[in-house]
Amino acid sequence: MAESLLAILLITSSAKDSQVTFRWPSHPQSSPRLARPRLIPRSLEEDADIIWRASHSSDQSSLPTSSLDELAGNEELDAEWERAGMRRARSVSYNGRRAASSRPGSGRNSPVEESPFADMEYRINPDYDVILGFPSKTLASVLLPHKLELFHEKFELTIDDLAFIGHPVCATPDRQWAFQDKEPSEVQPRGRNTKKRASEDETVGPTDTPTLKKDNKPPSQLDSFHLVFVMDLPDPSSASSGNIAKYFDLIYRHLAFSMTAMLFQEQVTHNFVERECDNLANLKEKCLREGEPYSFFVEQAQSTSSLAYSMKVLFEEIKSSSIANLTLGDLRFEVQVPPFIDTLLHPGMDLEDEYSDAGEGVGWGMESNLGWHLPSLMPWKALLLLDLENQDILEPLKTRGRLTMSDEDKDLAEDLDRFLQEVSISINLRDLGILLNWPMETHVYPIVRWLVKHRRAKLIDAVHPSLKTIFGLAPTFPAPLSDLSAAFDKEFDRKDVAPLPEILSALSSTETGSPNSNDHFYAMIVGSKERIPIYRDVMTWMLKRDLLVAMHLRVRIVATKELKMAVYNDAQYRRDMRSKKAEEAIKSSSDDDAALQAQNNYGGAYKATEAAGKKLLVRTGLITQSPVRRRSQSSGGSRRSQHKEVVKKDLTDEDDPEHGEDEIDELVLKEKGECLFSSVISDPARATPVQRRWIAAMSAKKDKTMAKLFQQINQYFDGKKTDDEILYRADITRKQLRFVLTHFGEYVQTFLYPS
């Protein structure tokens, strides 16, 4: 709900005057404010922490040595009073003239200023004329721009502790209502691209529609109108007011701009707003002449004016966090604000939505980034349709009184109809796209966004076709258990369906640790294949009311101490072998030097011996016919050092682009302390060289097929990715995943956790 929304005002201007034509509720009231002085030492006024000040505002023990009377006269202290013109000062009795503002005494003369409207006369019934302490004439004059260039753009005004948000629109200078041209010289809205905003909110803005051809119509009597949303600012005595700017911006985009766009469209095409305002003005004058109370006028207006009735419905639905289904003339549409918009006013809340675009880069769009708390839109998710009291799911695309829908709405309706025939809680979005032969980005995701945004569906974790999905209970229920049980019994009045408390009790016994083959919904609740259809409906009923939370399998890789020791011993053995071969090569190199000297002494008699020795070295792999070796043969003094380089090159591991095998062995040997205990490899996809050696060693003595599959998917065993995500990203079946986890059971750790 928009907890700070106080009222909706419709303000109009004509050649006669400007006025508040209608308001809802009849007598809006702002929240109570600070009504007593709060004494704050001036030395702390700038430096004290705001949270400490708020928590100690009523703690008199913090000033133990002085009484309140002494503090009141202390020049070092200042008194924090209500601001002049607030609701307490404005909402005084009217008796001919407005009485001077008064305030209960506090032990000294209070520095109270009189209201700026104290001397203003009221010629009509104040029940009609006073709104939140303001005369309606004055309020209308303040909330309507006095310059033409200030129309058709965002309006935001703060008076005392009230904020007025809207989007005023007006007729052309020749008093004709027409859509505005997008000319370069036109004044653009400050700080916001109106065209972009309209596309985000799926509405047509007053300044974003091409100019219609003007007919020869008589000048309009309605010069301008302004639908204003009155918001209550957070109490200034609170420790924090949250992100008030973002909050007001959402109110503007989702309410003020959208509603004004629809009203402007109907005014241009059907003169709707002017007719409604004339009827309301005539009805108000009649009620005043006859001495009827304002409540009587409001009751009559609700029954005769669709605009007045729509303002009431909009206010009540927004306050209850519901979708407002409105009708303005021949136009039917929906208006809503993000369901969790009020979290922006709560201290400590993040500015960005916690479920904002993640993973594959598939998101909900900027208009659904704040206040929605939507789960990530991922291909492995499924869609659950909401019946919403048997409403037509295509209702937002239909308009009463119009024979045809737009071409765009027709295409969307056709796609929706086909989509709804195939959607199921057991089919994820990727498989649904394959089934429909639709691309995900251009067809599947847009429809999912439309259904979720209009609260016709919600994203859930895909349910196993045989209901073998593990569920836990939601931490909180949306209603008392007695009410839920009564609704459940009414929906499933059958002997073969267990009562709701019994189902909840069975599910609450599910362990949330290691997965068990008997923990799923089928084993605990259903029990037989014949009962799957009815319990699928039971599960769907519970998911719609957020009673269940899907528990997902997550996997981590564990490097045991036995595995680490085996890898360490293997690295130690290879290093010993390399040292032994290097010593033999060095010795062989020394023999070559001696042979060369003998050749110089005895001539060709040594050639046969040299050829035999060279064959031996080549056969053992200690030398190659490489350029390095050839150069070493032509350099007598440095032949021994060059031979060592040859040996090192021949033992390099070509499979690791960054580290050779001997280098990894040295890293393993340095981690001898790690071999004393088992450890979890937190991120296999970014494993260190030593961790990669451990993971590779896990496949030793395993079936080659399973070993290859393990090497393919172990990068997803980080404990964060769910089993559904692993199946999607690795493109394997659930059976293959189960086989891998079984074959590598000693090296994997599995656990259940909500998604």
| Cis peptide upstream of residue 25 (ω within 30 degrees of 0) | yes
Residue-level pLDDT at 127: 78
Averaged pLDDT of the chain: 74
**Max avg pLDDT among 240-244, 523-527, 686-690:** 686-690
For residue 590, what pLDDT band results from cuts at 50, 70 and 90?
low
- Residue 570: name the closest of 580, 560, 562 by CA: 562
Q: Are residues 479 and 410 in the same domain?
A: no
Q: Are residues 194 and 278 in the same domain?
A: yes
Q: Report yes or no on 308 lying in a domain.
A: yes
For residue 63, what pLDDT band results from cuts at 50, 70 and 90?
very low
* pLDDT tens digits along 379-395: 999 999 987 554 555 55
Q: Are strands 222-232 and 471-473 parallel, antiparallel or unpaired?
A: unpaired
Widest pairwise Cα distance in the chain: 142
Higher confidence at residue 372 or residue 725? 725
Q: Give start and end residues of each alpha helix (H) in 367-466.
A: 407-422, 429-436, 445-453
DSSP, collapsed to helix, strand or coil, labels residue 612 as: helix
Residue-level pLDDT at 716: 95
DSSP, collapsed to helix, strand or coil, labels residue 188 as: coil
Tokens of 160: 């005392």
* Mean pLDDT confidence for 537-548: 93
Residue-level pLDDT at 62: 47
Give the range among 225-234, 434-443, 506-515 with minimum mean pLDDT. 506-515
Q: Report yes or no on 457 lying in a domain.
A: yes
**Which run of H or of E encompasses 156?**
strand 155-159
With both helix axes pointing from N to C terminus, report the angle between 445-453 and 407-422 in degrees, rounded to the nearest 10: 90
- Residue 218: name the closest of 180, 264, 171 by CA: 171
* Structural domain that includes position 440: 366-461
pLDDT of 736 > 90? The answer is yes
**Residue 90 buriedness (CB in 10 A; 0-12 / 13-18 / 19+):** buried
Cβ pair 107, 69 in contact under 8 A: yes
φ/ψ of residue 220, rounded to 5: -80, 145
Q: Report yes or no on 39 lying in a domain.
A: no
Tokens of 249: 């911006």
Q: Are residues 231 and 133 in the same domain?
A: yes
* Mean pLDDT confidence for 618-644: 40
Output DSSP code: residue 232.
E
What do you get for the CA distance between the two ends of the chain, in Å? 26
For residue 351, what pLDDT band results from cuts at 50, 70 and 90?
very low
Q: Report yes or no on 466 lying in a domain.
A: no
Q: Are residues 578 and 719 in the same domain?
A: no
Q: Report yes or no on 105 lying in a domain.
A: no
Q: Report yes or no on 104 lying in a domain.
A: no
Output DSSP code: residue 396.
G
φ/ψ of residue 678, rounded to 5: -80, 155
Domain boundary among 440, 461, 482: 461
pTM of the model as a whole: 0.69
**Max avg pLDDT among 60-69, 534-543, 665-674:** 534-543
Task: Report the percent of the chain where pLDDT is more than 90.
Answer: 36
- Residue 713: name the closest of 737, 735, 689 by CA: 737
The residues that bridge with 324 in the sheet, in sequence order, are: 335
Cβ pair 57, 346 in contact under 8 A: no
Q: Are residues 439 and 370 in the same domain?
A: yes
DSSP, collapsed to helix, strand or coil, labels residue 263 as: helix
pLDDT of 721 > 80? The answer is yes
pLDDT of 354 > 80? The answer is no
Residue-level pLDDT at 130: 87
Q: Are residues 629 and 700 in the same domain?
A: no
Residue-level pLDDT at 348: 54
Cβ pair 564, 753 in contact under 8 A: no
Residue with the two structure tokens 């993000």 = 338
DSSP string, 306-353: HHHHHHHHHHHHHHTT--EEEEETTEEEEE---TTGGGGGSTT--SS-
φ/ψ of residue 108, rounded to 5: -155, 170
Q: Are residues 321 and 371 in the same domain?
A: no
Residue-level pLDDT at 56: 55
For residue 129, what pLDDT band results from cuts at 50, 70 and 90?
confident
* Mean pLDDT confidence for 339-362: 58
Q: Are residues 451 and 407 in the same domain?
A: yes
Q: For Cα atoms 12, 15, 16, give the angle at the middle one, nearest 5 degrees.
A: 80
**Max avg pLDDT among 108-117, 253-262, 623-632:** 253-262
* pLDDT tens digits along 139-198: 999 999 988 889 999 999 998 889 999 999 999 888 889 886 644 334 344 333 433 433
Residue-level pLDDT at 705: 92
For residue 660, what pLDDT band results from cuts at 50, 70 and 90?
confident
Q: Are residues 190 and 339 in the same domain?
A: yes
Residue-level pLDDT at 366: 54
- Residue 572, number of CB atoms within 10 A of its CB: 14
Q: Are residues 408 and 336 in the same domain?
A: no
The C-alpha torsion from 478 through 483 and 489 to 490, rounded to 10°, is -100
Q: Provide the domain count of the chain.
A: 5
Q: Are residues 321 and 428 in the same domain?
A: no
Domain boundary among 409, 430, 461: 461
Residue-level pLDDT at 377: 86
Residue-level pLDDT at 461: 92
Domain boundary among 438, 461, 484: 461
Give 267-271 contacts, CB < 8 A, sequence gap 24+: 267/177, 267/222, 267/225, 268/177, 268/178, 268/179, 268/212, 270/329, 270/330, 271/177, 271/220
Cα–Cα distance for residue pair 212/201, rounded to 1 Å: 23
Residue-level pLDDT at 595: 55
Q: Report yes or no on 645 lying in a domain.
A: yes
For residue 413, what pLDDT band results from cuts at 50, 70 and 90?
confident
Q: Cα 331 to chain center, whole Å? A: 31
Q: Report yes or no on 375 lying in a domain.
A: yes
* Mean pLDDT confidence for 708-735: 93
Cβ pair 718, 683 in contact under 8 A: yes
Cα–Cα distance for residue pair 186/246, rounded to 1 Å: 27
Residue-level pLDDT at 126: 74
Q: Are residues 534 and 602 in the same domain?
A: no
